[in-house]
A and B are shown apart, each in its own frame.
Chain A
Amino acid sequence: MKVEATIGKNMQPLLRVENLVKRYAKRSLAGTPEEFLALDGVSFTVFPGTTLAVVGESGSGKSTLAACLACLESPTAGSIWFEGREITKLEERACRQVRPQIQVIFQDPASSLNPRWSVMEVLAEPLILQRKFTREEIDRRISSLLERVGLSPDIVERSPTELSGGQRQRLAIARALALEPKLLILDEALSALDCSVQAQIANLLVELQGSLGMTYLFITHDLAMAAHLADEIAVMDRGRIVEQGQAQKILKHPEQETTRQLLAAVPRLTLAPPLLEQ
């Protein structure tokens, strides 16, 4: 949409979402059925090799959006085009071809990795499920994945519980990359990590975008990190995108009240000038 400045105009969008609606049925205490509109007409476009950050408060519909895009939830209305193909109405068989290309990384690496498996098993599972790799090829891929995310090969026998928070999130990224996806959805993937580890993982994401041309949908409530990683920012409020555009533009000239409130809530550290010059 507004990324023409950096991306060629004739480039095909990787992901195009149009008027996406997700309604959840809920029942009030009295038993009368009520409806909850988690997504209320969401539209956007993401070009290959770029990052779109979706920011908003908790409950604004960010995670529902992620679930719909990853084919984990089916939207009530609207359409999602992935590489020019409508994926909301695909049958299960066709869906299986699309899913490996869209991978999700969740907030808490500790609860998204099986604690009873070794690092080796965690990484081998997606490859085994594809049924097209030999044992040797799987081993080879695992070692190249570990190297890619900066993990030492001698941790393959360990269980994820024996890894530090940063190592676990690196492992989650390695698992997501195993099937060579085109789109990575990062659902609050940095929020549960320490500040110093957040910086390491953010750098890894930038590095992977450079080397593999990855496309990211970065879902977060941390505007500062969104500003650092994203080309474009979409601000969500109660299921709608209220403002969208180039990251720096949105931050410098926010037009909506929601954006201004989010900006005001970012805790800021103002370092004294002499330190910045060092």
Chain B
Amino acid sequence: MIAILEIQDLHVSYRSSGGGLCPALTSVSFGLMPGEIMGVLGESGSGKSTLAGSLVRLLPANARITRGAVQFEETDLLRANADELRQIRGRRISLIFQEPSLALHPTMRVGEQVRQVLAAHDSLGKSALNEQTRQVFDQVFPEEADRISHSYPHQLSGGQRQRVLIAQAIACGPSVVIADEPTASLDPTTQMEILGVFRNLREKLGLAMIFITHNPALLCGFADRVLVLYAGKVAECGPAETVLASPRHPYTKALFHSIPTVFDRPGNTRKTKLPAILGDSARSSLPIQGCPFEPRCTERMDTCKEREPTRVNLSASHTVSCFKYES
């Protein structure tokens, strides 16, 4: 099978006010298969949102894509001109942002907001446009589609607003949806509900998805593959069942262990400490050379300080960047 979206050796930097370049993504490569859900896992500052933005070239003005290619169908999105991009963004590849209350226009009915997406991309007649809007609403709101499309954002709950954003994203029948922390501000019950909506749409429409989150537990039973970003670099990438059940990179392992379980692990008495990862990944605390995770790593070796690990293939589909696995 051929990847629908192929990211090759992507490098993105931000120009700081002092004039220097701060790398945000370094050498990120992966391919997204048609109908696949790729979970991108990372903490704040790891480059998750930069990745989402650079795939459709929606980055802050001070960002520079310094190297790489993003192949979508026949086009390299990083070299496409404004017209070509407009054809692709929103229609073929769409983006869902984190904060549903900020992404919607507060004084416009949500039905109209979805209709405008359709109107911007297709030259449909008025009745065809209305019909299509209704169909899109039916897909994300099996019940009450009518009432909701006539509501204003403030009349809707967080979960409903998030569904409206999903409706906007799927309105033109894209083949790729990029979702940047779409459930971060929702409570767990609603979170599960939204994941259900995504799963459903994937089945029905065969969408491929890049799902960005900081919570590994959300990807369980949802994502097909998981890509772990640390300080703008790919730490680990592999099939979801493998990575989530037996992670190999020391960062992934430590991250998973720092999450409390509902039921105590055997032998754990209450009010013990969680095995947290010490320190932080702020730009200022990253080492100048060597592995970026070295200062926080419990399994570090001498070589980790000297040079950066290269990507090791553990199996055909599972890669990890750590010296522990280099032979």
Q: Do A and B bind each other?
A: yes
- B273: chain A residues within 8 A (beta carbon): 203, 206-207
Q: Within the complex, what minimum Cβ distance (angstroms) separates B88 from chain A?
A: 31
- Comparing A89-97, A98-106, A220-228, the segment that makes contact with chain B is A220-228
Tell whether A227 pairs with B262 under 8 Å between CB atoms, given A199-B276, A206-B271, A271-B245.
yes
User: Given B214, B263, B265, B280, which contacts A166 in the complex, CB threshold below 8 Å?
Assistant: B280
Asked whether, in the complex, the Cβ of A265 is within 8 Å of the Cβ of B275, the reply is: no
Q: Does B261 contact A (CB under 8 A)?
A: yes
Q: Does B26 contact A (CB under 8 A)?
A: no
Q: Within the complex, what minimum Cβ distance (angstroms) separates B259 from chain A?
A: 5
Q: Does B274 contact A (CB under 8 A)?
A: yes
Q: Does B106 contact A (CB under 8 A)?
A: no
- B247: chain A residues within 8 A (beta carbon): 275
Q: Does B287 contact A (CB under 8 A)?
A: no
Q: Does A261 contact B (CB under 8 A)?
A: yes
Looking across the interface, which residue of chain B has its beta carbon closest to that of A60? Answer: B187
User: Given A207, A221, A247, A270, which contacts B220 in the complex, CB threshold below 8 Å?
Assistant: A270
Q: Does B45 contact A (CB under 8 A)?
A: yes
Asked whether, in the complex, the Cβ of B253 is within 8 Å of the Cβ of A275, the reply is: yes
Q: Which of A216-257 contact B (CB under 8 A)?
A: 221-225, 227-229, 231, 247-248, 251-252
Q: Does A37 contact B (CB under 8 A)?
A: no
Tell whether A267 pairs with B215 under 8 Å between CB atoms, given A228-B260, A251-B262, A272-B246.
yes
- A231: chain B residues within 8 A (beta carbon): 270
Asked whether, in the complex, the Cβ of B215 is within 8 Å of the Cβ of A199, the reply is: no
Q: Does A114 contact B (CB under 8 A)?
A: no
- A266: chain B residues within 8 A (beta carbon): 188, 217, 262
Complex interface bits, B155-180 against A, C-beta within 8 A gives 1, otherwise 0: 00110000000000000000000000
- B44: chain A residues within 8 A (beta carbon): 164-165, 194
Asked whether, in the complex, the Cβ of A202 is within 8 Å of the Cβ of B260, the reply is: yes
- B260: chain A residues within 8 A (beta carbon): 199, 202, 224-225, 227-228
Q: Complex formed: what's the CA distance from A197 to B214 in Å?
A: 11
Complex interface bits, B212-227 against A, C-beta within 8 A gives 1, otherwise 0: 0011111010000000
Q: What size tier do the contact residues of chain A reach?
A: 35 or more
Q: Complex formed: what's the CA distance from A267 to B215 in Å?
A: 9
Complex interface bits, B10-33 against A, C-beta within 8 A gives 1, otherwise 0: 000000000000000000000000
Tell whether A194 pairs with B244 under 8 Å between CB atoms, given A202-B260, A224-B262, A268-B262.
no
User: Given A228, A229, A265, which contacts B192 in the complex, CB threshold below 8 Å?
Assistant: A265
Q: Complex formed: what's the CA distance from A198 to B282 in Å?
A: 16
User: Given A194, A200, A229, A267, which contacts B217 in the complex, CB threshold below 8 Å?
Assistant: A267
Q: Does A276 contact B (CB under 8 A)?
A: yes
Complex interface bits, B233-264 against A, C-beta within 8 A gives 1, otherwise 0: 00000000000111100000111111111111
Tell whether A195 pairs with B255 under 8 Å between CB atoms, given A203-B273, A269-B217, A275-B247.
yes
Q: Complex formed: what's the CA distance from A202 to B45 in Å?
A: 21
Asked whether, in the complex, the Cβ of A251 is within 8 Å of the Cβ of B263, the reply is: yes
Q: Complex formed: what's the CA distance from A167 to B279 in Å?
A: 10
Q: Does A262 contact B (CB under 8 A)?
A: yes
Q: Does A121 contact B (CB under 8 A)?
A: no
User: Given A200, A261, A270, A275, which contacts B189 in the complex, CB threshold below 8 Å?
Assistant: A261
Asked whether, in the complex, the Cβ of A221 is within 8 Å of the Cβ of B187, the reply is: yes
Asked whether, in the complex, the Cβ of A195 is within 8 Å of the Cβ of B187, the reply is: no
- A271: chain B residues within 8 A (beta carbon): 245-246, 256-257
- B270: chain A residues within 8 A (beta carbon): 231, 247-248
Q: Complex formed: what's the CA distance from A224 to B190 in Å?
A: 16
Asked whether, in the complex, the Cβ of B258 is within 8 Å of the Cβ of A196, the reply is: yes
Looking across the interface, which residue of chain A has its beta carbon closest to that of B222? Answer: A267
Complex interface bits, B169-211 against A, C-beta within 8 A gives 1, otherwise 0: 0000000000000000011111110000000000000000000
Q: Does B43 contact A (CB under 8 A)?
A: yes
- B256: chain A residues within 8 A (beta carbon): 269, 271
Asked whether, in the complex, the Cβ of A262 is within 8 Å of the Cβ of B189, the reply is: yes
User: Given A199, A221, A252, A261, which contacts B274 in the complex, CB threshold below 8 Å?
Assistant: A199
- B214: chain A residues within 8 A (beta carbon): 194-195
Q: Complex formed: what's the CA distance from A41 to B11 in Å?
A: 57
Looking across the interface, which residue of chain A has its beta carbon closest to that of B278? Answer: A200
Asked whether, in the complex, the Cβ of A58 is within 8 Å of the Cβ of B158, the reply is: yes
Q: Complex formed: what's the CA distance from A156 to B188 in Å?
A: 37
Q: Does B277 contact A (CB under 8 A)?
A: yes
Q: Does A263 contact B (CB under 8 A)?
A: yes
| Chain A to chain B contacts (Cβ below 8 Å), 19 pairs | A58-B158, A164-B282, A165-B44, A195-B43, A199-B258, A199-B277, A200-B276, A202-B276, A203-B276, A221-B187, A225-B260, A228-B274, A251-B263, A261-B189, A265-B188, A267-B218, A268-B220, A271-B256, A275-B246
Which 5 pairs, one residue from A and one from B, show the smallest C-beta to C-beta distance? A267-B217, A199-B258, A199-B276, A228-B260, A265-B188
